[in-house]
Amino acid sequence: MAKLYFYYASMNAGKSTNLLQADFNYRERGMATMLFTAAIDDRFEHGTIASRIGLSAPATAFDASTDLAACTLDRQARETLSCVLVDEAQFLTPGQVDQLAAIADDHGIPVLAYGLRTDFQGELFPGSARLLALADALIEIKSVCQCGRKATMNLRVDSQGRAIAEGRQTEIGGNDRYVALCRRHHREALA
């Protein structure tokens, strides 16, 4: 029986690197995969999953209107898929997460979704909330705070490195906009 997996972490924990490694492992064995990434993430070339250590792979870009099940089943009709991998899974809609669960349950294709659990204010993203509710397996990818403890929070910062406490839930950025911290240091930064 295929499963829906949710690999979650704070920023800069290596989620995309882990996804690309999993994709490589499948392809190295001659197995076909399908990769999705959020169209909103404009840090790299459109439709590309890229890691900070230089790995990348082409992917199907999704937004809130994308029917992930239809895309996957269309591809499955042309070649047998062994796995579906989703980067930036926090940007999925709850309905899209339901589609991914159906891909695993009804079509026997494992789905590995990678994303943030919470935003810079410690609130769940809608896609992440639905994944936490439905995933067969929840796997935390560890990151480290400046103090050496496990980083679980994402602090949004301005161009001078000062903490930002308010704003839209989604603002794309990397090390220039976010710092991964433990809960204590996140609270202190926002105090």
Q: Give me the active site residues, please.
A: 88
Q: Is 137 annotated as a binding residue?
A: no
Q: 54-62 — which CB contacts under 8 Å span 24+ positions?
A: 55/16, 55/17, 55/20, 55/21, 56/20, 57/20, 57/23, 59/35, 59/87, 60/34, 60/35, 60/36, 61/36, 61/37, 62/36, 62/37, 62/38, 62/91, 62/92, 62/96
Cα angle at 143 between 138 and 167, to 5 degrees?
85
Residue 23 annotated as binding?
no
Is 9 known to sit in a ligand binding site? yes
- Residue 186 labeled ligand binder: no
- On whether 185 is known to bind a ligand per the annotation, the reply is yes
Instruction: Check the annotation: does 88 bind a ligand.
Output: yes
Please check if 182 is assigned to a binding site. yes
147 is in an annotated binding site: yes
Q: Is 123 among the annotated ligand-binding positions?
A: no
Residue 11 labelled as part of a binding site: yes
Number of CB atoms found within 10 A of residue 96's CB = 25
Task: For residue 150, give the 3-state DSSP assignment.
Answer: strand
Helices (H), the chain: 15-28, 68-78, 94-107, 126-134, 183-190
Q: Which residues are annotated as a binding site?
A: 9-16, 87-90, 145, 147, 178, 182, 185
- Output the known binding site for Zn(2+): 145, 147, 182, 185
Binding site members for ATP: 9-16, 87-90
| Binding-site annotation, residues for substrate | 178
